[in-house]
């Protein structure tokens, strides 16, 4: 169903008065000027989002900015579900897709702090299916041969997308897609075992290629901790941080808060059209399910996600709850990929343990400070943490694909230009 002329009023849910009084984000609110930001300039965020809504490029957005641990902007605009006439609200639940990855990476680093492994240990110490991996090498005539990989996959490799795993972006995509598809009610154990039957595309540590490696990270969490990934996240991260709306599968009583997914209609100036109809959302609803995708399975809210990333900006602690030590957070935010090119993030960027890292802001063409970390999701979501500016920012929307619009790139601009001190 094509959506035409979606022109909707901005929902200014938090005026300057309520920003000081309403802890709806789960963090303290503050007047922007008290933390060196401009109220007038922050209005440009709303204007920028509304232009995308008025142009029918997205149905709605939730945006949130915090500086020095205090929220200075938190707004919902547009519609959560156009067909049903449901307005976007700040407690709307979104598919986070790859913004799951930093959370699952933190889960593994919690176990790192407990001394269960070192980063240069081979993951086959815990997942023997990754022992004796073969490397697929292309011959001059285009044929391929298999040779034992001289370098085993380490914990660093699996956390940084340098493990050499086949993936759905480059290489033998059809073979990867067939073998890696989730089958029935299987769990991470059977999925990971099957993934390990595929040869590696390159020697670990020699290239950066995005993949489902963080689902293997999730499996490592399960084996080391003795819990399934869902239980570990709930008990060790979501519960302590009061992330009550973050789930692998939605409880039925929260489905009415779930944002509808849209996509561009290429025959109509890329205006949004409905991409999920009928009971398509039912796959996100809680049932007896056993597959928990560390690479992209979570749904969440702005409230929950800001609490998680504020914890990371704080050096691993929030509201008296400490998940990581500051030195571990520093380690995660460091560049672990050297000068390997990151085709997804682009020049001037490196990759840490679950986060991309700005190495050279001029080369990266970003207004974020060097040392800033970030990642996004396949449905148009994005966050970044700027330690130098003590800032966390989040944009949540639901459109796929989103590469025809620059809403995520522009969000950096309209946030950072509001910093005045």
Q: Are 309 and 246 in contact (CB under 8 A)?
A: no
Per-residue pLDDT, 279: 53
Q: What b/e readout covers 92-105, taking b as 16+ CB neighbours within 10 angstroms?
A: bbbbbbbbbbbbbb
CB 358 within 8 A of CB 372: yes
Q: What is the pLDDT along the chain (421 residues), one digit of tens a residue?
A: 334 333 333 333 343 334 444 457 889 999 999 999 999 999 999 999 999 999 999 999 999 999 999 999 999 999 999 999 999 999 999 999 999 999 999 999 999 999 999 999 999 999 999 999 999 998 888 888 999 999 999 999 999 999 999 887 877 888 888 988 999 889 999 999 999 999 999 999 999 999 999 999 999 999 999 999 999 999 999 999 999 999 999 999 999 999 999 999 999 999 988 886 555 566 788 777 899 999 999 999 999 999 999 999 999 999 999 999 999 999 999 999 999 999 999 999 999 999 999 999 999 999 999 999 999 999 999 999 999 999 999 999 999 989 899 999 999 999 999 999 9
Please, what's the b/e burial string for 28-65 (b: 16 or more CB within 10 A of its CB; e: otherwise)? ebbebeebbbbeebbbbbbebbbebbeebbbbbbbbbb
SS3 200: strand
Q: For residue 161, is the peptide bond before it cis, meaning its omega torsion is within 30 degrees of 0?
A: no
The answer to whether the beta carbons of residues 116 and 49 sit under 8 Å apart is: no
CA dihedral over 32, 37, 38, 43, signed as positive or negative: negative
What is the pTM for the complete model shown? 0.93
Structure confidence at residue 274 (pLDDT): 87
Reported in sequence order, the residue ranges of 162-320 that DSSP labels E, i.e. its strands, are 262-265, 271-274, 299-300, 317-318
DSSP state, residue 235: I
Name the token pair of 51.
Answer: 């232009």
- DSSP E strand stretches across 214-363: 262-265, 271-274, 299-300, 317-318, 321-322, 349-351, 356-358
Residue 333 in contact with residue 373, Cβ under 8 Å?
yes
Tell me if 419 sits within 8 A of 37, measured CB to CB.
yes
Q: What is the pLDDT of residue 280?
A: 54
Nearest to 209 by CA among 171, 161, 176: 161
DSSP lists the bridge partners of residue 321 as 318
The distance in angstroms from the start CA to the end CA of the chain is 47
Q: Can you tell me which residue has the tokens 């992330």?
A: 243
């Amino acid at each position: 169903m094509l959506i035409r002329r979606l022109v909707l009023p901005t929902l200014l849910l938090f005026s300057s008065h309520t920003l000081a009084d309403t802890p709806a984000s789960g963090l303290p609110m503050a007047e922007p000027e008290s933390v060196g930001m401009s109220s007038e300039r922050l209005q440009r965020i709303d204007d920028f989002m509304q232009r995308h809504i008025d142009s029918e490029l997205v149905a709605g957005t939730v945006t949130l900015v915090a500086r020095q641990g205090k929220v200075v902007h938190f707004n919902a605009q547009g519609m959560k579900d156009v067909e049903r006439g449901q307005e976007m609200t700040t407690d709307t639940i979104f598919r986070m897709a790859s913004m799951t990855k930093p959370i699952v990476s933190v889960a593994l680093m919690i176990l790192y702090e407990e001394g269960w492994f070192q980063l240069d240990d081979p993951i086959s110490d815990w997942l023997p299916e990754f022992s004796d991996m073969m490397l697929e090498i292309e011959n001059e005539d285009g044929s391929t041969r298999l040779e034992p990989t001289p370098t085993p996959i380490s914990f660093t490799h699996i956390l940084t997308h340098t493990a050499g795993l086949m993936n759905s972006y480059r290489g033998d995509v059809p073979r990867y897609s067939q073998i890696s598809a989730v089958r029935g009610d299987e769990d991470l154990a059977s999925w990971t075992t099957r993934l390990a039957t595929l040869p590696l595309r390159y020697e670990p540590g020699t290239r950066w290629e995005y993949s489902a490696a963080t689902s293997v990270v999730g499996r490592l969490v399960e084996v080391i901790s003795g819990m399934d990934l869902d239980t570990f996240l709930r008990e060790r991260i979501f519960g302590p941080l009061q992330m009550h709306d973050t789930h692998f599968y939605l409880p039925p009583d929260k489905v009415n808060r779930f944002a509808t997914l849209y996509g561009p209609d290429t025959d109509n100036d890329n205006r949004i059209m409905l991409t999920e109809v009928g009971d398509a959302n039912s796959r996100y609803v809680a049932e007896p399910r056993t597959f928990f995708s560390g690479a992209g399975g979570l749904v969440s809210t702005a409230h929950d996600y800001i609490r998680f990333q504020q914890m990371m900006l704080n050096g691993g602690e929030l509201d008296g709850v400490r998940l990581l030590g500051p030195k571990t957070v520093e380690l995660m935010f460091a560049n672990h990929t050297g000068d390997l090119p990151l085709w997804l993030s682009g020049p001037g960027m490196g990759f840490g343990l679950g986060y991309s890292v700005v190495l050279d802001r001029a080369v990266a063409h970003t207004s974020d400070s060097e040392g800033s970390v970030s990642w996004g999701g396949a449905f148009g979501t994005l966050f970044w943490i700027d330690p130098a500016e003590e800032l966390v920012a989040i944009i949540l929307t639901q459109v796929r694909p989103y590469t025809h619009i620059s809403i995520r790139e522009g969000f950096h601009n309209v946030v950072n230009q509001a910093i005045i001190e």
